Structure 1
Amino acid sequence: MSGDDESVKGPQRVAVIIACRDARTCIASTIRACRAIPAVDLVVVVDDGSEDNTAQIARSAGAVAVRHSVSRGRASALETGIKVAAMRDRADWPPRLLLFLDPDIGESAVEASALVEAVISGLADCAIGVPVTPGKLDTPNQVARKGLRRTTGWYSTLPLSTQRCLTRAAVNAVMPFSSGWGVDIGMTIDLLAKGFTLVEIPCDFQHMMDPVHRHDGRKGTRYGDVWLTVNMRRLAGTRLPRPLRTPIEDQGPGIPYTMPR
C-alpha cells in the first residue's frame, strides 16, 4: 500500500473538503458535525457558484470558505478544496488526509469517523462510505459497477459513493479528476490502476437533498458521464487479467482491495 513520507513526524490530521452549491439550509449542521470527527482540524467548503449565501453561512460555522464566481462542477470544486487544504499543511507534520463529504449529511457526518480510522490505521489508502443496508442500485451505479468489475475485478457495493477519505499521495496520483458525474468512478479505477488499496466501509449517512441537487445538478448527463469515464479507461488499457482477480465471494465491505502489480 502506498503512503506519505514517513520521515515527517507529527500528528496525523484530517481536512474535510465539501464541494457544494446552494446549500444554505444544511451546510452549517454538516460543518459542526465534522468537528466531532477524530483528527479533523480543518473544514474547507468550496461554494461552486451558489446563488444564495452558502459561503457566508459556512464561514460563520467555522469553515474555511472559498467561492467560485460561476459553477465549474464538482471535480473543479474538489480540486480547489485540495489546494486550499495543502496551503494550510505544516511542513513538520504529515500531509493531512483528505475527507470528501457531501454538504447535506448534517449530524450524520460523524459517521465518517470510520473512514478516517480505516486510512489512519493503514487498512487502505482510500476508504469509501457505503450504506449499512445496501439497496437496489440505480442505472448509473449499475453501469459503474459493471465497468469497475470489467477493468479491475472489484465488485463494489456503491461505486458512485461520494463520501471518501484518502491519503494525500493517493489524491495527488489521480488528479486532475474526471469531469461531471465521472469523478468518483474515475477516481476509483485510477487509484486501483496505480496500485493503491481501497476499502468500502458501511456508514449510516443521512442525506437531505437528492443526488442531482447536491452535486452537479445535471440529471440528464449522469448516465453518459459514467459510461464515458469507464470506457475511456477501458480503451486506455486499464484492465486486470481475469486469472489475477479476487473472486467476488472473497470481496465485500471491510475487505481491502487492490490490483496485483
Structure 2
Amino acid sequence: MKVDVIIPAYNEEDMIGTTLTSLIAQSWINEIIVVDDGSSDNTFDIAKKYTNIVLKHHKNEGKGNAIITGLTHSKGEWVMLLDADLGESASDAIKLLEPIIKGRADMTIAIFPQQMEKGLGLVKKRAQRIILKKTGKHLEAPLSGQRVFHRNWIGKIINHGVVGYGLEIHLNLTFLLNGATIEEVHTSMKHRTTGKDIRGFYHRAKQWIELERTVWHFQ
C-alpha cells in the first residue's frame, strides 16, 4: 500500500524541509504534494528542493482550500494528510496505514502524545460535542490533521462546504454521516503547539469560528 501525501503549508520555512526530509525516503509514499497557501517566506522554494509537486496559492486561502487543491491533484488510490510542522516525527505516520490495510477503518486519525496539548482544550471539546450529537461517536482527537483515506471519498470532501481550520470537523462529519468507520491511532508524532499567549488565543479563536462556519453546512 502506497499513499499520496498532501501537506498544506503556510509560512513554514523553518520546518517544511525537515518534515519533507523525513518523508522522501519512505517506501510507503507514492507522491508528496505540498500546497503553499500564500506564504510570504521561503516555504515554496524550500519545498521544491524535496518534491516536484509544489502548488502555490497566490494568497492565503485557509487550510481547507489548501487540502482541496492537493486532493484535486492527487492521482493515487490512497491519500494521507499531514501538517507541515511535524519535522522528523512525520515518518511515524506509517502507523496510520495498518487499520486501513487490515480493513478495520475507512479513515484513520493520528493521536498525538498527551504532553503536546498546551491549550485549554475548549475547541477540541466543542468539536467532540458536535460529533457526538450528530453521529453518536466520540473521537479523542477530532482536530488532528494527520489522516489516511481512500480517494473514493474525495468527491464527498470537495463538494461540501469547508472553511479554513474547519477541515477536520468537516472530514469527521462527512465520513461518519456517510456510514464510514474511523479509527484513531496513537503515534509519537509532534508538531508546533500554541500556548496560552495572545498568539495562541487568536489561533484558537480563528479555529473555533471556522469550525462553527463549517458545521453550519451540515445543518
TM-score normalised according to structure 2 size: 0.87
2:138 is aligned with 1:149: no
Q: Out of 163, 172, 191, which is 2:175 matched to?
A: 191
Q: Work out whether 1:55 is the aligned partner of 2:47.
A: no
Q: Distance in 2 between matches of 1:64 and 1:221?
A: 29
TM-score by length of 1: 0.74
Q: 1:32 to 1:117 in 2, by over 3 A?
A: farther
Instruction: Show the counterpart of 1:119.
Output: 100
Q: Give the deviation of 1:81 after TM superposition.
A: 0.9
Contact 2:61 2:164 in 1 (8 A): no
State the percentage of identical aligned residues.
28
Residues 204-232 of structure 1, C-alpha deviations (whole Å, 9 max, x = no match): 11113549xxxxx8543222222343354
Whole-angstrom CA distance in 2 between matches of 1:20 and 1:206: 16
Query: Structure 2: any 5+ residue segments left out of the alignment?
Result: 196-201
In the alignment, which of 197, 201, 204 is matched to residue 185 of structure 2? Answer: 201
1:53 deviates by: 1.5
Q: CA deviation at 1:138?
A: 1.0
Distance 1:149 1:48, change over 3 A: same
Which amino acid is the alignment partner of residue 210 of structure 2? D
Match of 1:171 among 154, 178, 183: 154
Q: Is the 8 A contact 1:137 1:158 kept in 2?
A: no
Query: Gaps spanning 5+ residues in structure 1: where?
Result: 1-11, 87-94, 212-216, 236-261
State the structure with more CA Rg. Answer: 1
CA-to-partner distance for each residue in 1:111-170, whole Å, 9 max, x for gaps?
Answer: 110112322332211100012447686111110001101111111111111111111012
Secondary structure at 2:215 match in 1 = helix
- How large is the Cα RMSD of the aligned pairs? 2.1
Distance 1:41 1:97 in 2: 9
The AA in structure 1 aligned to 2:72 is: K
Residue 229 of structure 1 corresponds to 214
Instruction: Tell me the residue number matched to 1:72.
Output: 61
**Cross-structure match for 1:214:** none
CA shift for structure 1 position 63: 4.5
Note the C-alpha offset of 1:54.
0.8
Q: Which position in structure 2 is the counterpart of 1:255?
A: none
Q: Determine which of 8, 22, 27 is the counterpart of 1:33.
A: 22
The 1-side partners of 2:150 and 2:43 are apart by 28
2:198 paired residue number:
none
| 2:5 equivalent to 1:16 | yes
Q: Which residue in 2 is equivalent to 1:139?
A: 122
Q: Alignment partner of 1:127: what SS?
A: strand
The secondary structure found in structure 2 opposite 1:42 is strand
1:110 matched to 2:91? The reply is yes
* Whole-Å separation in 2 of the counterparts to 1:70 and 1:98: 25
Q: CA deviation at 1:62?
A: 2.8
Q: Deviations over 1:39-61 (max 9, x none)?
A: 20211100010111211111112
SS at match of 1:47: strand
| Alpha-carbon spacing, 1:206–1:186, altered in 2? closer, same or farther (3 Å) | same
For 1:114, give the aligned amino acid.
K
